[in-house]
A and B are shown apart, each in its own frame.
Chain A
Amino acid sequence: MTEPGPATLLLNRLRDGDADAAAELFPLVYDELHRLAARDMQRQPAGHTLQPTALVHEAFLKLVGRTGGASDRAHFFRLAAQAMRSVLVDHARGRRRAKRGGDALRVTLDEPLVAESSDARLPDLLDVDEALAELAAVDEPLVRIVELRFFAGLTAAEAADVLGVSSRTVERGWRTARAWLLARLSGGDADGDDRGGSA
């Protein structure tokens, strides 16, 4: 056992129920993921796609070290999955803005043009993000599963370890969440509560 790193200390506080620790740790993780993404890309041949799972695991080693215990891992990966979601969603948001010219004022004017028909537009990651925000309101655990499986690229077994549930629970949850997201994003309406039966 080596001395704990600062991220470990924050994790300890997190484990002790200190919610602020998450707020403090989040930017660290976000930054590290972003940096690793850039570096990873420079090292790889063109056309290579980033592996989120490699990024979050490497961020863990970097920030917590090899000595992190099972509980550290769980807390870290839960947070890292959220950070990965933010990294990707922020990036997508940046691109959407860039397409519109990068000027806040013009964006406002162009709004109706761009948002002409959400049916015609292919859904993107921002839509996933928004849909997840909606899902979180009724089923937070399911969103955690999506973050771990989808954004952080963990296997069902790894995600199960992080969440302290069985792989089966993760697999089942992931399948349900995937179905719901697809139904929701393909213009369909899985909940039907406020929009009626368009499915």
Chain B
Amino acid sequence: MNTVRWSLVRRIFEELLELPEDEREAHLQREAGDDEALRREVRALLAADDSPPLLTRLLEPELARLGVDASRAPGLEGARIGRYRLESLVATGGMGSVWRARQDEPARIVAIKTLRAGLHGTQATQRFRFEADVLARLAHPHIARIFEAGTWSEAGGDATTHVPWFAMEYVADAVDLLAYARSRALDVDAKLSLFLQVCDAVRHGHERGVVHRDLKPGNILVGTDGAAKVIDFGVARAVGDDPSTLAPQTVVGQLVGTLQYMSPEQVGGEPDAVGTASDVYALGLLLFELLCGERAHELSGRALPEAAATIRLAPVRDLRAVDPTLSDDLAWIVARAVEKEPGRRYGSVSEFMADIERHRRHEAVLAGPPSASYRVSRFVRRHRVAVGSAASVLLAVLAALVTVSFSLSRERAQRERSERVADVLRDALLTVRPERDGGDAKVVDLLDDLAVRVDRQLAGSGAAEADVRRALGEAYGALGRTLEAEQQLRRVVALWEGLVPPDDVRRIDAEIKLAGTLRGSPRRDEGAALLEEALARLGPRAASDDASRRLRAAALVELSSLREEQGRLDDALALAGQAVDALTADASRDDRARALARLGGAARALDRPEQAQAAYVALVDALVAATPDADATRDAGAGREDGSPSATSRADVASDELAHAATRLLAGLDAALGDDAGDAPDASARAARVELLTHALDVATFLLDRDRVDLAEGLLRRMLPAVRATWGPVQRNTATVEAALARCLSASGPEDPPPAPARLAEAEALVRSSLAALDGALDPEHVTWVTRLDLLGRILWLRGDLAGAERTYAEAAERARVLPDDSTLRALALVHHGSMLSLQERFDEAEPIVREGWRRLRNVLGPGHVETRRAAEDLALVHLRAADGEFDPSAAVRRLREGADFALDALGEAHPRTLQLLSDLSAQLLEVGDPTGARATAERAWRARSATRESGDELSALLLDRLGSCLAATDAADESARAYAAMAAVTAREHGRVPSPALVEAGLGALLDGRPADAAALAPHWDEVATLLRDVVADARRAWEQRPEREQELELEEAVARSNDAVDTLRAVGRADDALVLLGELADALRALYGPGHEHLAVLSANLALCLSDLGRIADARAASEAALAIMRARAGDGSAATLPYLRLVSELAEDDGDLEAAERVQVDVLALAVRVLPSDAGALADDRARLADLRTRLGEGGGDVAAQPRP
């Protein structure tokens, strides 16, 4: 059999099926010609076509047996594989089974693992062989050894099956790690030593390049001898393997069981990120469970998606909260191992083990409470000292102190002072005893130690004490310990007060430093006062003395920052200007840059972009001139400028200036940072780098403010590695850079397509990392939380994660509650949160929240502000969508009325959202039997629309359509026709593909309006009109593939509405067959968009039933009507008002079919429902009663008593 031959056979066969039996032979002769074999084949198919359902007979017994056998083991017992006889099944799963087997020589029991025979494809086989290879590579007392591997061939009836297997060490009477610890009631130390065996096995694997990837209790067996064995390297992978060729999970055992120990990066589907750190994570979870007997995450009973979310987002439980008798150290160790971010876990299993060993020896552990460990790591990075040596960390701290102390000493008593400082340092050094601090003590503790020592040993030493305390204060400041820093600097200021005159530079310098630590504290007013006083003292000297001038500028910069914090923005700007002016041409570039950066910041705070831009451009000049390749950069920049077309307007000049500055800054960063992503080589280079990066961050943020996203992105990308290396991964500046870059990556205008998925994924990772950095480092009430969560919410929304976005915005709104009442951020957080709820169809929750956000915006910004109006649109949309989701028309009317009232008030009657609400309201009013109200509403909407200049678009067509149907419903046929004609004209213009607008106008108008006489007069053009109608549907289908879902729905729904009208008319003119085609296409489109079971399909099926009935296919028609009813019942609920017309249809078609009994039966339901849902004076109710009576009369039951209750 070949493809061409078969497709010929198939085509002819299928053609024959369409023909009456007596015509088939002739057709076959025609098609097959003299190809006798072909004829025979097709005849064989035809013969088989009528055969009894053999296939079902084959399937059912197999299904019955499968159910019975499914839980039983595959029948391999007693089978012999190689030198082994399988004795009993140990475990089985989708990939294969594990058997206990006996080997004769040497006589021993082994475990045989087999791959399931039915697994097609080579992937699974490859993976299975890979496991055998992996095990062969590993030789460790705590890893199950492999003895032999091979492939067993099983001859079946017609083919031979090949089953790969391998034999490995059998752990007799083994139980899993946790069961073992429980059954033996191990104490903490015994548990730890057992756990260390496991760690050592995993470490062994890592050293040989094998990551286990599926560590869980069931994969760690402990025999009666108490020795642990790690098994099941089924999903192991070699470090550096191409991750795409590997499975993310094992399938032996239940999936949730496996998920339980998966790391966030595994669950997150980032195969690239899965490495040794994932094993560290799994080990951490195991240790948690081993120690306290409970799971670190409780996932059982949760749906898989929810479980995955828990792993990725929810913090692991605190060990001490489960078992308070365990030590802090152990809790920290576990917490460190199970950090969400791989980079924050122990760097290796060895490090993990070393910390456990440290704990067992009662030494200080490397892990600390999370925030402390972050600070330590940051500090250590700053000083470029390898982690793992407390002594070297301390030395770095002390070396910095010594440098500072000595450089400041200009007194005659220098030598004496230095000696006393040296004494302190020596004492501090002596406290580092390798046996205690062999790993790492905590740097903060060391500083605290040093502070106590200074109290004891340097008290009264005057300048020496001041110098050391100043250094201490700065060290505390660098660690984020502002209170301690403030405390030390206060002492310094007090010391200098007693030692030197008021205008001494050292005293003023200390005061400026102290004021700096008061920034952001409630004592900032004191800081400002301090600076004002210092400036007054400096005044007389500043003109002549260089050092004084610098101090003056520094004090002005600091004071400007404080003023800004105090809300005195004009003063802040004036002071920053003074600072710039205070510096002469020969001032150091750092001083200059600082003053200019402050000036830019102050101008931004006042929303003066031009002034800010001037300051930042000057700042770039200062910075780039300060880098080694400045001249080259400047030349390169100038060269580029010469080549570019000259700017034509002031705005262009300004924007070019900005682009130019950004380019030069980027070149400056290149020159200063080089290719090295690591930290700067020495202290002064580091200081220069910190300055440069701080200022570059200012410039980048400004660019972002000015919507120069690409420029900002270029800078931020260049900066990020250096920022991370310089400040550490979890510092506030790093967090700011990450957040700014995330903003760039997720930026898109309202009309733009959303950013690419990869950019959004990166943005999410960045903003999450930045949020993690804020944790503990930032006051929980700080406004940055709100802006950053808002950013994350937006990114998640763009990524399509509505639930995540909703949760994030909810948190933003919650955090924003501490903001002032007039905060727009607070209002926006509410609007965003509510909109996400609305998108999840949680309208009742969404409405009050969005409304509250809008109300706040209106109060703060005024009703006409763009943000207020945007919020109002969002609220209108909530109403629209909520009404859309209502099955009960009167509930929809209530919602729409409320929404329309609001929109009329907040947005005005010509706003598209208002018009949509009015249009939907009008449609629903018709639905509930209020044609007059519907007509008034539709007329109002159309009047408002026709008064605008955009009255020729799709929305206009929609409004006209509504108006038309309302007019028709109120018996205003002529007006209705005119409305439809206008609508057709609009549609024709919009779609711009109609050769003869007049024809279409007439044709569509006649069709849609239900004027069969006119439509019939169009008979010569019928095909064109029909084509046009089909095009409407086809357009909607195309739109489905191209547009965002919401728009697709609108489009398609419009097509449904129009086609329903068209079907009515097509039937009226006797073209039910055309209508059938139209309905078929529409149904396909609907199913593609909504899947089966949407209520539109119910409408469609009902129409289908009518057409079929027209065509005399009553049985088919009845089936279609019943299908329609079933869909609607499933959708709206049995007994819903929405099912009423469908019930009626089913009954009527039954009557048409002559099945009066069925008709009567259904009509009873009709009446029961009508009595319940219709007003008692409704005309339809009377009709329903009359019809039932009629049916009963015809059935001979007498109809007189129908007016009473329907039969039960």
Contact = CB atoms under 8 A, between A and B. Distances in A.
A190 B44 contact: yes
Contact of A24 (B78, B156, B248): B248
B155 A93 contact: no
Given A1-B840, A199-B44, A179 B13 contact: yes
B2 interface: yes
Contacts of B308: 3-6
B93 A31 contact: yes
Given A98-B75, A192-B37, A30 B48 contact: no
A111 B155 contact: yes
Interface string B836-852: 00001000000000000
Contacts of B803: 1-3
Interface string B138-170: 000000000000001111111101000000000
Contacts of B801: 1, 3
A141 to B, nearest CB: 11
Contact of A102 (B59, B75, B121, B303): B75
Given A18-B244, A108-B155, A150-B59, A62 B94 contact: no
Contact of A88 (B55, B66, B80, B155): B66
Given A38-B70, A62-B304, A180 B45 contact: yes
A192 B41 CA distance: 7
A27 B119 contact: yes
Interface stretch (B283-291, B663-671, B1084-1092): B1084-1092
A41 to B, nearest CB: 3
A119 interface: no
Interface string B33-65: 000010011011111110100110011101111
B122 to A, nearest CB: 9
A23 B5 CA distance: 32
B1205 to A, nearest CB: 39
Contacts of B251: 27-28, 31
A89 interface: yes
B6 A93 contact: no
B1039 to A, nearest CB: 16
B1045 to A, nearest CB: 10
Q: Contact size class for A?
A: 35 or more
B304 A34 contact: no
A161 interface: yes
Given A63-B255, A65-B303, A104-B152, A199 B43 contact: yes
A37 B123 CA distance: 26
B74 A94 contact: yes
B1042 to A, nearest CB: 16
A47 to B, nearest CB: 8
A4 B423 CA distance: 62
B497 interface: no
A161 to B, nearest CB: 6
B500 interface: no
Contact of A38 (B17, B65, B71, B116): B71
B117 interface: yes
B154 A183 contact: no
B58 A96 contact: no
B6 A191 contact: yes
Given A38-B71, A50-B66, A193 B2 contact: yes
A188 B118 contact: no
Interface string A31-42: 110110110111
B58 A37 contact: no
Nearest to B159: A130
A82 B83 CA distance: 35
Contact of B51 (A48, A88, A96, A186): A186
A124 B14 contact: no
A6 B116 CA distance: 22
Contacts of B74: 94
Given A31-B93, A161-B1092, A190-B48, A1 B800 contact: yes
B479 to A, nearest CB: 37
Contacts of A98: 75
A191 B48 CA distance: 13
Contact of B1092 (A26, A105, A157): A157
A148 interface: no
A86 B123 CA distance: 16
Given A8-B305, A139-B6, A41 B68 contact: yes
B67 interface: yes
Interface in B840-868: 840
B1 A134 contact: yes
B608 to A, nearest CB: 43
A68 B51 CA distance: 39
Question: Contact size class for B?
Answer: 35 or more
Given A50-B67, A139-B7, A172 B17 contact: yes
A88 B59 contact: yes
Contacts of A7: 304
B83 to A, nearest CB: 14
B306 interface: yes
Contact of A6 (B71, B248, B1091): B248
Contacts of A5: 303-305, 307-308
B3 interface: yes
Nearest to A92: B62
A89 B75 CA distance: 15
Nearest to B307: A5
Residue among A7, A98, A103, A138 having the largest count of chain B Cβ atoms under 10 Å: A138
A189 interface: yes
Interface string A107-142: 110010011000000011110101000100111001
Contacts of A48: 64, 67
Contact of B255 (A6, A182, A192): A6
Interface string B401-430: 000000000000000000000000000000
B923 interface: no
Nearest to B1: A191
B55 A34 contact: no
Contacts of A62: 304
Contacts of B840: 1
Contacts of B123: 20, 23-24
Contacts of A107: 154-156
Contacts of B116: 27, 90
Contacts of B249: 6, 24, 28
A151 B154 CA distance: 25
A183 B47 contact: yes
B898 to A, nearest CB: 27
A42 B65 CA distance: 12
Interface in B795-814: 800-804
A134 B77 CA distance: 33
28 contacts: A2-B309, A3-B308, A6-B255, A6-B308, A20-B244, A24-B247, A26-B119, A27-B93, A27-B94, A27-B124, A30-B118, A35-B254, A41-B67, A41-B68, A41-B71, A88-B63, A93-B161, A98-B75, A102-B75, A102-B78, A115-B157, A123-B58, A142-B10, A157-B1092, A172-B17, A188-B44, A191-B6, A193-B5
Interface of A: 1-10, 12-13, 18, 20, 23-24, 26-28, 30-32, 34-35, 37-38, 40-42, 44, 47-50, 52, 62-63, 65, 67, 70, 73, 86-98, 102-105, 107-108, 111, 114-115, 123-126, 128, 130, 134, 137-139, 142, 150-151, 157-158, 160-161, 164, 166, 172, 175-176, 178-183, 185-186, 188-194, 197, 199
Given A23-B247, A92-B62, 13 more contacts: A1-B840, A5-B303, A8-B305, A31-B94, A37-B66, A37-B67, A42-B71, A98-B75, A134-B1, A180-B45, A191-B6, A191-B41, A197-B40
Top 6 closest A-B pairs, CB basis? A31-B94, A41-B67, A3-B309, A5-B304, A38-B70, A23-B123
Interface of B: 1-3, 5-7, 9-10, 13-14, 17, 37, 40-41, 43-49, 51, 54-55, 58-60, 62-71, 74-80, 93-95, 116-121, 123-124, 152-159, 161, 244-245, 247-249, 251, 254-255, 259, 267, 269, 303-309, 312-313, 800-804, 840, 1084, 1087-1088, 1091-1092
